[in-house]
Amino acid sequence: MNPPNPAVARATVTVSAGAGYNFAYLDEGTKRMIRRAILKAIAIPGYQVPFAAREMPMPYGWGTGGVQVTAAILGAADVLKVIDQGADDTTNAVSIRRFFTATAGIATTTRTAEATVIQTRHRIPEAPLAEGQVLVYQVPIPEPLRFLEPRETETRQLHALAEYGLMHVKLYEDIARHGHIATTYAYPVEVAGRYVMDPSPTPKFDNPKMDDCPALQLFGAGREKRIYAIPPYTRVRSLDFEDHPFRVQRFDRPCALCGAEDVYLDEVVLDDAGGRMFVCSDTDHCETRLGETRLAETRLADGHTGEAA
Partner 1 sequence: MYVAVKGGEAAIDNAHRLLAEVRRGDPAVPELTVAQIREQMRLLVDRVMTEGSLYDPDLAALALKQARGDVVEAVFLVRAYRTTLPRFGATEPVDTGAMTLARRISATFKDLPGGQVLGPTFDYTHRLVDFGLADAGSPDPAAEAEPEADAAACPRVTDLLGQAGLLEPSPPDEGAPVGDLTREPVDYPADRAVRLQGLARGDEGFLLALGYSTQRGYGRTHPFVGEIRVGAVELAFTPEELGFPVSLGTVALTECQMINQFHGHGAVPPQFTRGYGLVFGQGERKAMAMALVDRSLRAAELGEPVAVPAQDQEFVLAHCDSLQATGFVEHMKLPHYVDFQAELELVRRLRAEHAARAAAPAPASDESPLREAAE
Partner 2 sequence: MAPTLAHGFADPVHAGQAVFRAAMEALSRPGRIRPLVTALVPPAPLTPELAALALALTDADTPVWLDAPLRADPAVAGFLRFHTGAPLVANPGGAAFALIADPARCPPFTDFAPGTPAYPDASATLILAVDTLSDADGRDFAEQACARQVFAGPGIRGTAPFAAGPLPADWTARWAANHAGFPLGIDCLFVAPGRLAGLPRSARPVDAETVPGSDGSAGSEALPCTSR
- 99-118: contacts with partner 1 (CB under 8 A): none
Measured from the CB atom, the residue of 161 and 270 that comes closer to partner 1 is 270
Question: What does residue 170 show for φ and ψ, rounded to 5 degrees?
Answer: -60, -45
Catalytic residue among 63, 65, 86, 255: 255
Q: Cα 288 vs. chain centroid, distance in angstroms? A: 20
Exposure string over 224-235, b if 16+ CB within 10 A, otherwise e = bbbbbbbbbebe
59 binds partner 2 (CB under 8 A): no
Closest residue by Cα to residue 74 from 201, 218, 197: 218
Q: State the Cα–Cα distance between residues 181 and 185, nearest whole angstrom.
A: 11
Q: Judged by CB under 8 A, which of 18, 251, 293, 299 binds partner 1?
A: 251
In the region spanning residues 114 to 143, those forming contacts with partner 1, defined by CB under 8 A, are: 121-123, 140
User: Minimum distance between the CB of residue 89 and partner 1, rounded to whole angstroms?
Assistant: 5
Q: Judged by CB under 8 A, which of 270, 273, 301, 309 binds partner 1?
A: 270
Q: Judged by CB under 8 A, which of 44, 113, 148, 257 binds partner 1?
A: 257
Q: State the Cα–Cα distance between residues 280 and 180, nearest whole angstrom.
A: 26
**DSSP 8-state code for residue 4:** P
Site string for partner 1, 178-217 (x = CB under 8 A): xxx-x-xxx--------------xxxxx--x---------
Q: How many residues bind partner 1, per CB under 8 A?
A: 85
Question: What does residue 228 show for φ and ψ, rounded to 5 degrees?
Answer: -145, 170
Closest residue by Cα to residue 140 from 196, 88, 86, 63: 63
What residues make contact with partner 2 under the rule CB under 8 A? 22-23, 28-29, 31-33, 35-45, 47, 49-50, 72-76, 156-157, 159-161, 191-192, 194-195, 214, 216, 230-235
